[in-house]
Amino acid sequence: MDPPPTADTAASSTPTSSSLRKRTTGLSVNTSPPPGGGGGGGSSRERERKARQEAGMDDVERGEEPMSPAGRLFRETHFNCYIVALLGLGSPVDVAAVRAGLEATLVRHPRFSSVQVTDDARKNVKPRWVRTTVNLDDHMVFPDLDPAATSADPDRAVEDYVSSLSTLPMDHSRPLWELHVLDVPTSEAAAAVVLRMHHSLGDGVSLISLLMACTRSAADPSRLPALPPPSSGGPPRQPACLLALAAWVWSLLVLAWNTVVDVTRFVATSWFLRDTRTPFMGTQGVEFRRKRFVNCTLSLDDVKSVKNAMKCTVNDVLIGVTSAALSRYYFRKTASSDDTGGGDSRKSHKNIRLRSALLVNIRKTPGLHTLAEMMDSSKDNAVKWGNQIGYIVLPFHIAMHDDPLEYIRQGKKTADRKKRSLEAVFTYWSGNLVVKLLGIKAAAALCYGMFTNTTMSFSSLAGPAEKVEFYGHPIVYIATSVYGHPHALTVHFQSYMNIMKLVFAVDDEQFPDSHQLLDDFAESLRLVRQAASV
Task: Characterize 70-81 residue by residue with b for buried, 16 or more Cβ atoms within 10 angstroms of its Cβ, and e for exposed.
Answer: bbbbbbbebbbb
Write phi, then psi, for 345 (nearest 5 degrees): -65, -20
Catalytic (active site) residue 515: no
Closest CA to 479 of 507, 503, 458: 503
Among 139, 180, 199, 485, the active-site one is 199
First to last CA, the chain: 55
Beta bridge partners, 459, equal 492
Burial class (CB within 10 angstroms; exposed 0-12, middle 13-18, buried 19+) of 258: middle
Q: Where does 272-396 have alpha helices with state H?
A: 300-310, 314-338, 371-374
Tell me which amino acid residue 1 is. Answer: M
The CA distance from 276 to 280, in Å, is: 10
Task: Characterize 98-135 residue by residue with b for buried, 16 or more Cβ atoms within 10 angstroms of its Cβ, and e for exposed.
Answer: bbbbbbbbbbbbbbbbbbbbbeeeeeeeebbbebeebe
Task: Tell me which H or E stretch contains 203.
Answer: none
Task: For the beta carbon of residue 150, count every other beta carbon within 10 angstroms.
Answer: 18
Beta bridge partners, 193, equal 87, 181
Q: Please give the positions annotated as active site.
A: 199
